[in-house]
């Protein structure tokens, strides 16, 4: 069983909120999406992604875990979510083609699906999933960004990346023709783990250590989410901020 808290906020520098979130505790399904900055109609793309994930999940029920085991279950779920993301990508591209004002719209997305003692995570772009366990925080996803590529080849440090002028340049997204496939992960989870999904409006303002400290300060998950948003705004609030916190 899991409990959940969530919050989305426009931040201090934006006129509208291009983030969106999905919280379906009944299905153990959670997601956040962030319309890509600099693109048309980012708020439409992010909401299309969230609605698309929900509709796909409800109209294509996942087989029960006792019908699949081990690698077979992992492979089937990877194929399942890949089909989901491909459909959403095509839907967003279709809207952009039919409606010129929406041309170029795109969005990031990160999904968490809990199945027994396994957490499945799917992401594209730079919205992130974290796990907080035994006083430590770990990032579960890899950002699909230009600066992260530089970090991976040793051309940039993590601290340098936070100040890089192209730190928000996305290399994969939904709604981009040939924009790449999502990553798919699975992790063992245990009681008292705390999972966080967030857009870059949070992790762009706060370090992982700062996020961890806020998440440990409260037990009530909705208060945790409010505190995370407040902390990001106090650091500048330069983007929309969306967080979903899940306790195992």
pLDDT tens digits for range 147-166: 666 656 555 556 655 665 55
What average pLDDT does the structure give for the chain? 90
pLDDT averaged per 10 residues, the chain (length 248): 92 95 96 83 94 97 69 91 96 89 91 95 98 96 80 58 64 87 96 97 96 95 98 97 97
Q: Decide: 171 and 146 in contact? Cβ < 8 Å.
A: yes
Q: Based on C-alpha coordinates, what's the Rg of the chain?
A: 17
pLDDT tens digits for range 188-212: 999 999 999 999 999 999 999 999 9
So what's the pLDDT on residue 103? 85
pTM of the predicted protein model? 0.92
The DSSP annotation for 54-122 comes to HHHHHHSPPPPGGG--HHHHHHHHHHHHHHHHHHHHHHHHHHHHH-GGGTT--EEEEEEEEETTEEEEE
CATH 3.40.50.300 applies to domain 3-247:
no
So what's the pLDDT on residue 155? 53
């Amino acid at each position: 069983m899991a409990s959940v808290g969530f919050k989305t906020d426009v931040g201090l520098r934006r006129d509208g909120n291009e983030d969106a979130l999905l919280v379906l505790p009944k299905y153990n399904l959670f997601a956040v999406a962030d319309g890509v900055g600099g693109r048309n109609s980012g708020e439409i793309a992010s909401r299309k992604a969230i609605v698309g994930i929900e509709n796909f999940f409800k109209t294509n029920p996942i087989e029960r875990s006792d019908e699949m085991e081990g690698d077979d279950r992992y492979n089937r779920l990877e194929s399942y979510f890949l089909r989901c993301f491909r459909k959403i990508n095509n839907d967003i591209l279709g809207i952009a083609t039919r409606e010129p004002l929406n041309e170029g719209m795109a969005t990031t997305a990160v999904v968490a699906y809990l199945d027994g003692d396994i957490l499945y995570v799917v992401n594209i772009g730079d919205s992130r999933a974290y796990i907080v366990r035994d006083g430590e925080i770990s990032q579960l996803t890899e950002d699909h960004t230009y600066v992260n590529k530089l970090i991976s080849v040793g051309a940039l440090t993590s601290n340098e990346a936070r100040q890089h002028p192209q730190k928000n340049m996305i290399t994969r997204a939904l709604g981009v023709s040939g924009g790449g496939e999502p990553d798919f992960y699975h992790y063992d989870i245990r009681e008292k783990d705390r999972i966080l999904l967030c857009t870059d409006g949070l992790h762009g303002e706060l370090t992982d250590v700062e996020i961890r400290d806020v998440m440990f300060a409260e037990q009530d998950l909705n208060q945790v989410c409010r505190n995370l948003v407040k902390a990001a705004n106090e650091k500048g609030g330069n983007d929309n901020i969306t967080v979903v916190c899940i306790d195992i």
